[in-house]
Every structure is written in C-alpha cells, then in structure tokens.
Amino acid sequence: MKLLLIGSESVHLPNYLELVRPALTDYKIVSNRPVKGEEDVTVVAPFTYRSIRSIIRTIRILRKTIHSFNPDIIHVHQANVYALLTVIANKKTLKPLVVTGWGSDILVTPSKHFFHRWVLAFVLKHANAFTCGSLYMKKKLMSYGFSADLPVLVANFGIRVDPNQCEKENIIYSNRLHEPIYRIDRIIREFETFYKSDVGKSWRLVIAGSGSQTAALKVLTDSLGLSGVVDFVGWLSFQQNSAYYNRSSIYCSLPVSDSAAISVVESMACGCVPVVTDLPAMRELVTDQQNGLLVGENETGIFERVLDVSWKSARKFNMDVGAQFGSRTINSAAFIGLYHKLLNV
C-alpha cells in the first residue's frame, strides 16, 4: 500500500507513520517544512491562506505529487488549510482521502469565523473517511456538515512511553506546548499557591516543551519566587519524557480546548494522577475525584484538592486505562483496517 501523508511538520506525523508502517510498501509526505527524520521523503509546500500565489503554488505541488507518486491512500492531518487544498488538488484523481482532526481544528477554529466553518463542511463533504481522537469530537462534527454516510473512526496515535514501577516522587509534570491555548501560566500560578501552603512545600513543578511563551513563563516563575522549585527542561527525548511520566505523581494539563490528548493518556499509563481541564473529551478518561481531577474554569486550589484522591487505586486504574486506550497495537489495527476497507482489500 502506498500512502501520501499530508500535514503540518510536527512529531505527530512520524509517530503516525510508525503506527501504520507495517501495512505500507511506500510513502511520501507533503508538509510545510521538512519532517525530522523523514527529510528525504518530504515535499515542502507553503500551506497558507495569506496569498493567492501561495495557494495556487501549494495546489500545484500537491497535484504533481499525487500524479507522480500515485498513492493508494491520501491521509491528511488537520481539517484546515491542509485538508482544503488537498481536496482541491485531488479533484481530478479522486484518490481515497482520509482526514484526521487533531483538536482545535474541530473544537475551536470553526466557531471563530464563517469561512472556517465552510472549510470544515467542504472537507467533510469530499472526504472518504474521517478520524478523531475522542467521541466528543465525533459528536461535534455533526454541527459542521457531517454526513451519516461518512465513516468516522475514533482512534489515536498510541502511547510512546515505557511504563515502569519506579517509586513516585513529589513532582507535578506538564509537557504541553508553551502557547496561549495550553495555559501553562495558570499551572504555574496554581503551583505557587500549592507550594506556599503547608502540604505543598516538598513538591516541584517540571515544565517540558517550549513555544512562543517560554521566555514570558520563565519571567513569571522568577517574579513569583519559584525559580528554585520550577524546572524548565525543554524538549525531551522519548526516554526522558517517559522517565518524567514514571517519576511524577501528578500530570497537569489545563488547555482552553482539547480532545483526548495522548499526553494525558501517556501519563495515565505511567501511573500519574491527571489534573485536567473539565472538557467533554477529558470526561472520557477522567472521573473527578476518582482517578484524577477535572478542573473548572474558575477553580483554584486544584493541587490541594487532588491530594484527596485515593492515589493507590487511581494509579492502578489509570495504568490499565492508559495501556488499553493508548495501545499502539489496537490503534494501528484500527487505522490499517480503515485503509483496507476503503481499498476493498
């Protein structure tokens, strides 16, 4: 099977490739930048709405790639400009097209402007199948031109961690991007309150990743007098990320919007107790005060409250759920099965 994979350059594309690689005889990627580790098979195109010239150029690159590579399946990640231009480029060849929603492209962006709602409806109309990471996202599609005839697969890219039974430490771990949607600043402010209480003095906050707000978040940390107990560890390798999941007692993610984030699933598989925004997709993984904490919009004192959870039972439950929900074997079979169904093999 020959796969043409299209999407923005990120760790998600090579991670997904590893998931379906057993079924592939060949593959090629089209992205906005060379994909790390896959530079030799990446075709670069300027996926943007900023100018007609860029739009036309990207469509031409996509058409040329589709024609020369002649894929069996086209799979585009993110139902935005990537999917729209792919649909247009695929008009003549009509290769089977799968679209995967990542989160904000379904849950946030379409509500901002009519144009984005039209884009999503147009993409849904021309896709042969759609995939997403949560039941909530699947339900959300119904308000944006979703057709009952469109196959929708709920699956994820699987966890990439190595759970072990090492002793937990008093560490709160966060590894989401340092962008406004993920509200790392709120985590830092909540940690300040917790650390300055009697129960929080022995705890540390570890913040992995980076983004446009990294410098500002470090300034905030210093201004709150937390520079000695908040560690910014930057981008981590697979092994380093796994180690922090395994050592940490609490995993915290407080985005404005989210699907069933794989980082939350990974943390659960490693026995962390998740403290997450009370969002519909998160309720598919976390039951408040049982295996974690669902945080309301104006709620404070969250780290004090999570200490009331029965940690021993929560950790065992989370490891079971994380391993099952995030199983790479199960999710790989689901995506490959969808490809085979579209190709009638």
Residue 289 lies in a domain: yes
What pLDDT does residue 332 have? 96
Residue 70 has pLDDT above 70, yes or no: yes
Residue 211, helix vs strand vs coil = coil
User: Which of 28, 267, 60, 66 lies closest to 168 in space, CA to CA?
Assistant: 267
- 292 and 145 within one domain: no
| pTM (2 d.p.) | 0.82
Pair 248, 224: CB distance under 8 Å? no
Distances (CA, A) of 154 to 3, 11, 46, 55, 130: 20, 20, 29, 31, 9
Q: Mean of the pLDDT values across residues 130-158?
A: 85
Find the CATH number of the domain harbouring 92: 3.40.50.2000
Please name the residues in contact with 295: beta carbons below 8 A apart, sequence gap of 6 or more. Answer: 254, 275, 276, 277, 278, 302
Domain of residue 270: give its range.
Answer: 169-325
> Token digits for 210?
């980076």
Q: How far is CA 137 from CA 19, 73, 99, 113, 130, in A?
A: 21, 23, 13, 19, 11
Residue 258 lies in a domain: yes
Residue 333 and residue 285 share a domain: no
- Residues 55 and 191 both lie in one domain: no
Residues 144 and 173 in one domain: no
Query: Two tokens at 231?
Result: 């560690």
Q: Is residue 162 part of a domain?
A: no
Q: Which of 69, 48, 62 is nearest to 2 (CA)?
A: 69
Residue 42 lies in a domain: yes
> Is 163 part of any domain?
no
pLDDT at 145 (0 to 100): 67
Single out the residue of 269, 271, 273, 276 nearest to residue 327, CA to CA: 269
Shared domain check, 88 and 43? yes
Closest Cα to residue 78, out of 259, 325, 265?
A: 259
Of 19-33, 93-107, 177-191, minimum mean pLDDT range: 93-107
Q: Is the dihedral angle over the CA atoms 70, 131, 141, 44 positive or is it negative?
A: negative
- Write b or e for each residue in 330-340: b if 16 or more Cβ atoms lie within 10 A of its Cβ, otherwise e: ebbbbbbebbe
DSSP assignment letter at 304: H
122: closest CA among 73, 81, 77? 81
pLDDT, mean over the chain:
93
Residue 199 shares a structural domain with residue 315: yes
Quick check: is 275 in a domain? yes
Closest by CA position to 87, among listed 28, 47, 141: 47
Q: Are residues 152 and 44 in the same domain?
A: yes
Q: Do residue 27 and residue 106 come from a single domain?
A: yes
Can you tell me the distance from the alpha carbon of 343 to that of 345, in angstroms, rounded to the nearest whole number? Answer: 6
Residue 251 covered by a domain: yes
Digit-coded pLDDT (tens) for 263-296: 999 999 999 999 999 999 899 999 999 999 999 9
Say what the pLDDT of residue 109 is: 84
Q: What is the mean pLDDT of residues 223-230?
A: 95
- Other C-beta atoms within 10 Å of 34: how many? 15
Strands 230-234 and 152-154: unpaired
Asked if 273 contacts 297 with a C-beta cutoff of 8 angstroms, the reply is: no
Residues 17, 142 share a domain: yes
Domain total in the chain: 2
Q: Which helix (H) or strand (E) holds 36?
A: none
> Is the Cα torsion angle 250, 280, 79, 97 positive or negative in sign?
positive
Same domain for 311 and 331?
no
> Which pair of structure tokens corresponds to residue 206?
């570890």
Classify residue 75: in a domain, yes or no: yes
Mean pLDDT of the 32-39 span:
93
For residue 162 the two structure tokens come to 């190595």
CB-count exposure of residue 191 (10 Å: 0-12, 13-18, 19+): buried
Same domain, 87 and 199: no
Once rounded to an integer, what is the mean pLDDT over residues 311-317? 90
Report which of residues 23 and 10 the model is more confident about: 23
Same domain, 47 and 110: yes
Which DSSP category does 70 fall into? -
Place 105 in a pLDDT band, splitting at 50, 70 and 90: confident
